[in-house]
Amino acid sequence: MTPLQFDTAYRPMWDALSTALDRIEGGVRRRRADAKSPEPPELPATQVAALYRATCEHLALARSRDYPSHLTTHLEELTQRAHQVVYRRRDHSGARLARLFLIDVPQAVRAHRVYMWTACIVFGLPLLAIGLLCYFDPGFILSLQDVSTVKEFDAMYGPSDNPIGRMRSAGTDWNAFGFYIMNNVGIAFRCFAGGVFFGVGSLFFLAYNGAVIGAVAGYLTMRGYTENFYSFVVTHGAFELTAIVISGAAGLAIGHALVAPGRLTRVQSLKKAATAAVPLVYGAAAMLFIAAALEAFWSSSRWVEPNFVNCAEEAAILADGWRAVKRTFIRPTAPTSTPLPPAALRSRHARGGTWRDR
């Protein structure tokens, strides 16, 4: 059979599959929005699957017979489209979203526990060390911040009628929300993307951000702005700082995959590590969004009286709610007993006893 005869014989079948795919994907409705001709009838799912299988056979024949490239390319594109339609996952419900944040993200954090601890130490030690230095020597903050920025900190957290922790240029709460999103995402992205430099970039940005945060905390504590500063930080800091550490841990995992790829190539090792770190990125992104919302609409509010007891009570309520959600969505599975191998059973009966007797 010549390529022309092959095309003429099976072209109606390919056109039928293409039309069915267009209808499923919504392409026909968009193209025929202003047309007067009626739409073709929708094919049943079984017929679409049969056309897909037949087109796969035609593609194999075209390749084996070395037909022209334009014919094989058309069949390859058609089978790829059909594969996406036939095998795509249609479960986009809230259950998948709940599973992502209640199961997948915690599992990824535990699976990356070594990188999590490393990122926590690299971030936490400079925070504590520089914070103590700035507390006992307030002038040390000028090694990390300029004079105008330090004066801005005094205005943001000092006694004033302006919103706590809000820069004068921030404007409304929505403007501040956008600024916090941009700032937080930028910090977390640098901690994550720095992993491509064999992990050195992630280590640097974790240590640097920890030092900057520690310097601000130590200086403001020495200045006596503890009530305003810590009541502002406590509401969103848990989400923001945890997201930074998680992002840094994901970057360290990528860097370690490049440094020690094992039996894989560096590209393969990078792809594997990046795929495993995707839930960490999702979790960090959600935490940064929550932190920005709290920082813009709640933390800076002057009408909310700073009270650490209320914060502790709210934390306890959130913890109780988290346990209730886990009981609802995460059902523990009963442990299954592993059957004994036949050799062990024969040896047990040969001795004339049971495992309990032993």
pLDDT, tens digit (0-9, with 9 covering 90-100), for 314-329: 555 555 555 655 555 4
Q: Is the pLDDT of residue 346 over 50?
A: no
Which tops the pLDDT comparison, 169 or 200? Answer: 200
Percent of the chain with pLDDT over 90: 36
Using CA atoms, how far apart are residues 239 and 318, in angstroms rounded to an integer? 13
Q: Is the pLDDT of residue 101 over 50?
A: yes
Which tops the pLDDT comparison, 152 or 77? Answer: 77
pLDDT grade, residue 161 (50/70/90)? Answer: low
Q: Is the pLDDT of residue 336 over 70?
A: no
| Alpha-carbon Rg for the chain in angstroms | 30
pLDDT at position 90 = 59
3-state secondary structure of 184: helix
pLDDT at position 329 = 47
Residue that is written with structure tokens 């240029």 in the block: 169
pLDDT at position 285 = 92
Q: Is the pLDDT of residue 100 over 50?
A: yes
pLDDT at position 209 = 94
Using CA atoms, how far apart are residues 301 and 310, in angstroms rounded to an integer? 15
Q: Is the pLDDT of residue 257 over 90?
A: yes
What are the DSSP calls for 195-243, one per residue?
A: GGGTTHHHHHHHHHHHHHHHHHHHHHHHHT-HHHHHHHHHHHHHHHHHH
Q: Is the pLDDT of residue 174 over 70?
A: yes
pLDDT at position 92 = 58
Using CA atoms, how far apart are residues 44 and 111, in angstroms rounded to an integer? 44
For residue 215, give Cα distances in angstroms to 70, 74, 137, 353.
Answer: 64, 62, 10, 70
Using CA atoms, how far apart are residues 236 and 309, in angstroms rounded to an integer? 16
CA 304 to chain centre: 32
pLDDT at position 143 = 87
In single-letter form, the type of residue at position 165 comes to: G
In single-letter form, the type of residue at position 139 comes to: G
pLDDT grade, residue 32 (50/70/90)? Answer: very low
Which tops the pLDDT comparison, 338 or 250? Answer: 250
pLDDT at position 283 = 93
Pull the structure tokens for residue 230: 């810590």
Q: Is the pLDDT of residue 357 over 50?
A: no
pLDDT at position 118 = 95
